[in-house]
Amino acid sequence: MNDIVIRAEKLSKKYVIGHQKPGGYTALRDVAAGAARNLARSVRDIARGRPIVAGDEIEDFWALRDVDFEIRRGDTVAIVGRNGAGKSTLLKILSRITEPSAGCVVLNGRAASLLEVGTGFHPELTGRENIYLNGAILGMSRAEIRCKFDEIVDFAGVEKFLDTPVKRYSSGMYVRLAFSVAAHLEPEILIVDEVLAVGDAEFQKKCLGKMSDVAGSGRTVLFVSHNLAAAAALCKRGFLLADGRLVASGDIASIISRYAQGGEQQARLEFRPRADAPSMASITIDSAALAQGDLIVDIAYTAPFPIAAIGGIALQTSAGARAYTSNCWMHEYDNPLEAQAGVLRCAIHGLPIIPDRYQLSVWLCDRHVVYETKVDCMTVEFPDAHMRQHLRGAIETGCIDWPARWQGRTVDVAAAAHE
Amino acid sequence: MTQDAIILAPGRADRHYWRDLWRYRELFFILAWRDIAVRYKQTIIGLAWAFVRPFLTMVVFTIVFGRLANLPSEGGAPYPVLVFAGMLPWFLFSSILSEASNSLIGNASLISKVYFPRLIVPIASAATALVDFAVNLFILALVMLWFGYMPGARIILLPFFVLFAVVASLGPALLITALNVKYRDFRYIVPFIVQFGLYVSPVGFSSAIIPERWRLLYSANPVVGVIDGFRWCILGGDTALYPPGFALSLVVAAALLWFGVRYFRATERSFADLV
Ligand SMILES: Nc1ncnc2c1ncn2[C@@H]1O[C@H](COP(=O)(O)OP(=O)(O)OP(=O)(O)O)[C@@H](O)[C@H]1O
Ligand SMILES: [Mg+2]
């Protein structure tokens, strides 16, 4: 029994792209000459049976270069990387949408890919019709769809609108329906690209829950996401792609921290420092740490004269209620040194806060004066490490998330009455 | 498990292509159904148009070719019936050509997001053309009833000629569809073919008026064979097929289909990168 379901060897994908020459044309003569050159090239391309590429200069562009990997049955792999790193390209090759330019892949098992929710949905058709259409497009048989139909409708929560054309749906309803069809696929290998960023927060959680069911059921999953928390929760392994190359693979935690070190994954806010008074230069949140539930905020400051900076941060719910405050008086702080520039770091590990979005406010002061206040300047989203499905957000549940232990005990009513 | 392994490599012809095509037949039906449903759902005009267009064309051609040019009919059929019997396959041909050639561009989001044998898309789009064809056939029945002209026993062979028409259309259609993805300019060529073809094919007149020595050459246009065949089985009476011409049309249609499918398959792997 061969346990390797996907093996890629020296996998590469080349695109031919054209560039417009910088500066552009000015004189009519140049325009005409450029057009004539392009026409001549187009004719040559057609004659040779090559696609026509617009632009003045043509370049080969390697979206993937010499990628090697093996994926075993039951592996759950998250693929992370910056925009344009080649993640979608890799998934497209694996799902047979496009062919590699070099190298090869061996696939063992029925793969289904979900590169977009609602592929092929037609606005004029009703919800019911679109379920059948989309299901067939994703590779489900009609019998399979019929058998799961009620579940799909139930998951999407659109019973009342089943016979309405989907163009009358709200965009939220539309993606819910689209996702539920996809969520009921049952392939051996599931390939998912960045599709969980749809719908409202509650529905996103539901989707993640569904995905983790799939991942937990022993199926092979390849998952691309910029949501590192979701990647960490769903997958055990990770691949890091950069500029078309596979630069690292290993367990998910190490991949995420390596990716985060790239610096790109930090949420960062920059300010123009003031010349006349101490002020903040930037606020940075470590996204990789946040994905693991730790909030680490770096506050960089500058001052026209040396200050012994201290600071504070606060989190507010979207309803404006204060959820958490910390400052250098309340909590542990290494003694400040006087300086004209520096970084205050506030690290909060394992904050028992209800997973939700919070607004971050930041203060910069010294022992005597508050120099600057930035209220609600950034959004912090605490992920749910446990992927719970029934969380309703801080406004409804309050902000503290502390485990309680619930126990049930039965009472025998007849025996109680006898006493 | 292992014998089911799929190997993806550049330029590798897919051994399971035809099996895959069969496996995806449900998708084929559902895409065909979608095109038809959308078309007839959106507009009552859609249906009205299906009636008005052939009817007006019949009237105009009857006046121009039958009255003004005084061309002869075939097998004693009234001239409008002759025109209609030729128009039927012509509209089938031209709408398959235009529906198919736009089908891949129209389904670009499907092509770039899901795998399936791409051949399904243009062929499914031909289904809409078949529905229009059925409407036209119904109108023809009404027209024949109006003239009190009964078809002969040959009418039972009609399905064979419909198949011939579809085959003759699919060859060029697949070729143009594939070219259209690569070179968008080909979308300007289809209306031209349709326009021009209407006059060089024997739609408004009987192909019997073509001089004998040109007849075989004329039949190199596969539509000629299709139209002759339709007239032969619908008009009945003493209409006769011109066997060498008909055979030539068949051969040309088959060759075009073979070439169309081959070219389509050779290029389809790059469709997702181009649409
Ligand atoms: N059909 C195409 N023609 C030309 N270039 C393409 C084509 N498809 C993708 N590319 C290029 O290939 C590179 C990789 O794209 P890809 O979509 O795989 O990135 P990604 O990692 O999925 O990024 P993102 O995080 O933004 O989704 C990009 O630079 C893109 O411009
Ligand atoms: Mg992408």
- Between A103, A124, A141, which is nearest B26 by CB? A141
Contact A134, A116 (CB under 8 A): no
Give the DSSP letter of residue A22. T
Closest-approach residue (CA) in chain B for A142: B26
Residues 6+ apart with CB under 8 A from A145: A131, A132, A135, A136, A152
Nearest CA to ligand 1 atom 22: A88
How far, in Å, from the CA of A222 to the mean position of ligand 2?
13
| Predicted ipTM of the assembly | 0.82
CA A61 vs. chain centroid, Å, equals 25
Strand partners, A11: A67
State the nearest Cα–Cα gap between B9 and chain A, in angstroms.
Answer: 5
Q: Tell whether the model's pLDDT for residue A160 goes beyond 50.
A: yes
Q: Tell whether the model's pLDDT for residue A210 goes beyond 90.
A: no
Least confident of A25-29, A258-262, B33-37, B228-232: A25-29
Angstrom CA distances, A118 to A123, A136, A137, B26, stand at: 11, 12, 10, 18
Q: Token pair for residue A151?
A: 């579940």
Residue numbers in B near A142 (CB within 8 A): 26, 30
Measured between alpha carbons, how far is B169 from B127 in angstroms, rounded to an integer? 12
Region of A4 (left: φ > 0; alpha: ψ -120 to 50; beta: rest) is beta
Q: How confident is the model at residue A393 (pLDDT cuts 50, 70, 90)?
A: confident
Q: Does residue A192 or residue A200 have the better pLDDT?
A: A192
Q: Tell whether the model's pLDDT for residue A21 goes beyond 60.
A: no
Judged by CB atoms closer than 8 Å, whether chains meet at B114 and A97 is answered as: yes
Closest-approach residue (CA) in chain B for A46: B183
Least confident of A51-65, A148-162, B75-89, B220-234: A51-65
Q: Give the pLDDT score at A198.
A: 62
Q: Give the pLDDT score at A313.
A: 94
Give start and end residues of each alpha helix (H) in chain B: 17-23, 25-42, 44-61, 79-106, 108-113, 120-147, 158-182, 189-200, 212-218, 222-235, 243-267, 271-274
Q: Which residues in A249-263 are b (16+ Cβ under 10 Å) and which e?
A: beebeebbbbbbeee
The share of chain A scoring above pLDDT 70, in percent, equals: 89
Measured between alpha carbons, how far is A216 from A208 in angstroms, rounded to an integer? 12
Q: Give the pLDDT score at A108.
A: 86
Looking at all shown ligands, the one closest to residue A80's CA atom is 1
Q: Domain locations in chain B?
A: 43-274
Q: Tell whether the model's pLDDT for residue B245 goes beyond 50.
A: yes
Q: CA torsion, points A105, A111, A112, A114, in degrees to nearest 10?
A: -40
Q: Tell whether the model's pLDDT for residue A264 goes beyond 50.
A: no
Tell me which residue of B127, B101, B114 sits closest to B37, measured CA to CA: B127
Chain A residues bordering chain B (beta-carbon distance below 8 Å)? 1-2, 15, 46, 51-52, 92-109, 113, 115-116, 119-120, 122, 124-125, 129, 132-133, 136-139, 141-142
Residue numbers in A near B25 (CB within 8 A): none
A360 phi and psi, to 5 degrees? Answer: -100, 130
Q: What is the mean pLDDT of residues A247-263?
A: 79
Q: How confident is the model at residue A266 (pLDDT cuts 50, 70, 90)?
A: low
Ligand 1 pocket, Cβ-based, cut-off 6 angstroms: A 15, 17, 63, 81, 83-89; B 273
Q: How confident is the model at residue B1 (pLDDT cuts 50, 70, 90)?
A: very low
State the nearest Cα–Cα gap between A54 and chain B, in angstroms.
Answer: 11
Measured between alpha carbons, how far is B203 from B182 in angstroms, rounded to an integer? 32
Least confident of A21-25, A169-173, A281-285, B238-242: A21-25
Looking at all shown ligands, the one closest to residue A89's CA atom is 1
List pLDDT tens digits, range A332-390: 887 677 888 888 999 999 899 998 888 899 999 988 888 998 888 888 888 877 777 67
Judged by CB atoms closer than 8 Å, whether chains meet at A136 and B27 is answered as: yes
Residue numbers in A near B37 (CB within 8 A): 124-125, 129
State the nearest Cα–Cα gap between A363 and chain B, in angstroms.
Answer: 47
Measured between alpha carbons, how far is B9 from B114 in angstroms, rounded to an integer? 18
Q: Tell whether the model's pLDDT for residue A263 goes beyond 50.
A: no
